[in-house]
Amino acid sequence: MSSINKRAQQIMAEIISNKKVGAYHHITLSVGEIAQLIRPGNFVAIAVGGADSRMVLRRAFAIYKASMDPLDGGIVELVVAPHGSGSTWLCNAPLHSKIDMILPLGKAFGIPVEPVNALLVGGGYGSAPLFGLAEALKAKQCNVDMVLGASTASKIYAPQEGKRSTNSMIFTTDDGSLGIEGMVSSVIPELIEKNKIEIIYSCGPMAMLEAVTKISVEFGLQHQCAVEESMACGIGVCMTCVLPVRGEDGVARMLRTCIDGPVMEGSDILWNTGRTVPSEVWGA
Ligand SMILES: Cc1cc2nc3c(=O)[nH]c(=O)nc-3n(C[C@H](O)[C@H](O)[C@H](O)COP(=O)(O)OP(=O)(O)OC[C@H]3O[C@@H](n4cnc5c(N)ncnc54)[C@H](O)[C@@H]3O)c2cc1C
Ligand code: FES
């Protein structure tokens, strides 16, 4: 039986930096020693709107980076798109305000024991957890290629320092304002062949993850994707985030992506089921 990340704690974290970068806000929070327990792929669940807020549901955000800073102690960095009322409140939160957050949540990306050729694919703010992952893979002497896509240039989050963690970086935009015009999926097959890719990691919109899964299946590659199914509690209680996923026994079950994910093997997911429970799912 799956359960919440055993390392998770609810804390009040102070915002120590909040900068607008393109279409996003890069927010740094002081979180203390718990930063050491965070792995690439983990996420946070944040209470938004302040103490009297009517926004009762926490909002989930991937952890872009976690580190121990010599001056600030344990810090967590987030990349937030001002989307609706909750994320906009967070983007507007003033310096030194205290944020109620639960972290670290969810399953992290698996890091190979031996060096491999890895391809990291991100869509929009989905690039956020991939830079910490790239650093972890580099520490294992992996070759790391990255493809980042978005609708337009301002929605690609690719910090300069992040580029140092990769061997190559390709951008795609729907409108051609940066890099290659088109979707990330259009450049992946050639990269797989050229760079002898052995594993794919991805994070971004569900349609992109489905497209990457199709390619990974075609090439017979493992594909660890961090899904971003809508979440309401983030801690395994509400069942908002369920997806049909096939287990090792071949049986499909509705799994809670906040505790069984967000990182999952792409080919295990029954994609594009339109938020219904497919008839082949156990108990349907
Ligand atoms: C694992 C994960 C990682 C993410 N990482 C990032 C990130 O790094 N950066 C980023 O900008 N965004 C990220 N998101 C998306 C982010 O969580 C949403 O943009 C945010 O919740 C929007 O909140 P809002 O109040 O601004 O938007 P609104 O659309 O106003 O509100 C969203 C609210 O509706 C609730 N909700 C949505 N669907 C349902 C449903 N079917 N049933 C019940 N309640 C529902 C949500 O729980 C949330 O409380 C991530 C999401 C997930 C699941
Ligand atoms: S978000 Fe509530 S169970 Fe996953």
Tens-digit pLDDT profile for the chain (284 aa)?
688 898 999 999 999 999 999 899 999 999 999 999 999 999 999 999 988 888 989 999 999 999 998 888 999 999 999 989 999 999 999 999 999 999 999 999 999 999 999 999 999 999 999 999 999 999 999 999 999 999 999 899 877 777 788 999 999 999 999 999 999 999 999 999 999 999 999 999 999 999 999 999 999 999 999 998 889 999 999 999 999 999 999 999 999 999 999 999 999 999 988 778 888 888 77
DSSP bridge partners of 75? 30, 67
CATH no., domain 9-105? 2.40.30.10
Ligand 2 atom nearest residue 236's Cα: 3
CA 70 to CA 72: how far, in whole Å?
A: 6
Domain boundaries, the chain: 9-105, 117-228, 234-284
258 lines ligand 2 (CB under 6 A): yes
Which pTM value belongs to this model? 0.94
Among 63, 64, 230, the mutation site with the greatest number of ligand 1 atoms within 8 A of its Cβ is 230
- What is the pLDDT at residue 30? 97
Chain centre to alpha carbon of residue 60: 10
CATH of the domain spanning 117-228, picked from 1.20.1250.20, 3.40.50.2300, 3.40.30.10, 3.40.50.80: 3.40.50.80
CA 190 to CA 195: how far, in whole Å?
A: 8
116 lines ligand 2 (CB under 6 A): no
**CA proximity to 235, closest of 1, 8, 51:** 8
Find out whether 29 and 75 touch, Cβ atoms under 8 Å.
yes
Torsion over CA: 6, 12, 18, 22 (sign): positive
Among 229, 256, 260, 275, the mutation site with the greatest number of ligand 2 atoms within 8 A of its Cβ is 256
Nearest-ligand number for the alpha carbon of 257: 2
pLDDT in tens, 205-227: 999 999 999 999 999 999 999 99
60 lines ligand 2 (CB under 6 A): no
Torsion over CA: 249, 251, 253, 256 (sign): positive
